[in-house]
Structure 1
Amino acid sequence: MKKFSYSLIVFLSCLFANAQDTISFYFESGKYELLAKEKLRLNEWIVANSTSKILAIHGFTDEVGTSASNDTLSKNRVHYIYNQINGKVAIRNDFKTISFGENFKRDQEQAKNRRASIFYLQEKDLAKENEILGIEIEKKEPIIIPDSLPFHEKIKLAQVGTKITLKNINFYQNTFQTTQDSQASLYDLLFVMQNNPNLKIQIQGHICCVDKDRRNLSLERAKQIRRFLQWKGIPQGRVSVTGFGTTQPIYPIPEANEEQAAANRRVEIEILSK
């Protein structure tokens, strides 16, 4: 956990006050552990917000005691709340705490000054999290990977999220068994996985020619590729699988010709990490 310089406090306080939800929990004077009633409130909030995300926790005190002791007390209140929620509610990676001590505009009712406040986003707002917080995400221009490049060169250029079609991966009709002419492509994939130990991928199966993948054949074909990699020593944790059936065709179904059907009937990998 980190402590801000005071120059950022006013900005963050205004941002948090207007951008998302806040809840406060109140302490007895001089204490940094909640009494039973307030701890029950906190536990109830944790259960109700298991899908929320915490952005910050601020700690406050009343005027009783020295400035130094109140600074320590406000920090301890923040740490107490943090320890109660840690592992139970998601927390931003850049999670911040601010311990105000006596450095804030006080409420006339002293009990309201003895608190720790949680600033958080509900699940419904997580999709616009960065927008709410005013964070601009640098957009990377997508890299165009020439289809003519060798497979290992495509991997070098690929970014996280890039999808690459495994060329010449074929299966016997209506099965997930690869044909003999698929071996070269399978070993190309194996070579890349062996020589890029940090590479994690998702194998994605697609089929053609029917309105629905009733036998889940696209997933089984993806699993068959993973089985080959595992058999050759690639850990399962580096390879996930999914089957899209006919939900992501390149050409409309029914296809106009075998060339279109072959394009729809494909196996792709998506780069998860490098």
Structure 2
Amino acid sequence: MKTIAFLILGFFTSICFAQKQFEVFFDFNKDFPNQQSILDFNGWKATSNINEVIRIEGYCDSVDTKNYNKKLAERRIESVLKLLKSSSVAITKDIKKIAVGKDFEQSQVQEENRKVIIYYTEPSLEKPRSVLYESIKNAKVGERIKLSNIYFYNNSARTVSKSQTTLYDLLCVMEDNPKLKIEIQGHICCQIETDINDVSTARAKAIYNFLIRNKIDRTRMSYKGFGTTRPIYPIPEKNEIEANENRRVEIMIVEN
């Protein structure tokens, strides 16, 4: 993972910190993070070893005037600061708050422009790698790896909060291995005929969008839904264990 190292010199000790960033997104003309970003924020807070937040930048899409967007960006910054404080995240006393508004090189996807970037430091000690991380890193082209502990609301592509650890494990391996390319594959259970609402594709796309929001290059990823065409156990399943095995998201290694 690309980081910038800072050396803090003390009287007896020296501690090395890495500067990192996390992005929070907003719906159109709103100054409070959207629902998905709140889930992502909770996952980031739970899985990151945050030392302190040192800088916050606010951005807007291209709609409306320069002055209006500057003020909206300022409100978004203050909203994120309140969220950080209520979550007991440490914030440096002289934190830099930069309201950029819409004066930056904008993405063609407007949703990606409505954001706040949180810059923070954390100790740059090497963390133990998860089983998922090691499995993906060492996998061969064509190999498929199940994303365990990814859960969705019923008949929905929205992940529940306990899925965040696995999502950030996947993000970590994508960040640390820039040559890695994957196909995200969605599967469902229980339906004998077909995936009527194409939920399997929507769930694979939800994982794809999570990685996009966290700055993984979209050219490294694709997604596809297989409905019930590739069950591990015959359908109809005999019990909930078999249903859970069929109801899954997998990663297929395209390039490593």
Higher-Rg member (1/2):
1
Higher relative contact order (CA 8 A, sep 6+): 2
Query: Greater share of strand residues, 1 or 2?
Result: 2
Return the TM-score normalized by structure 2: 0.49
Query: Greater share of helix residues, 1 or 2?
Result: 1
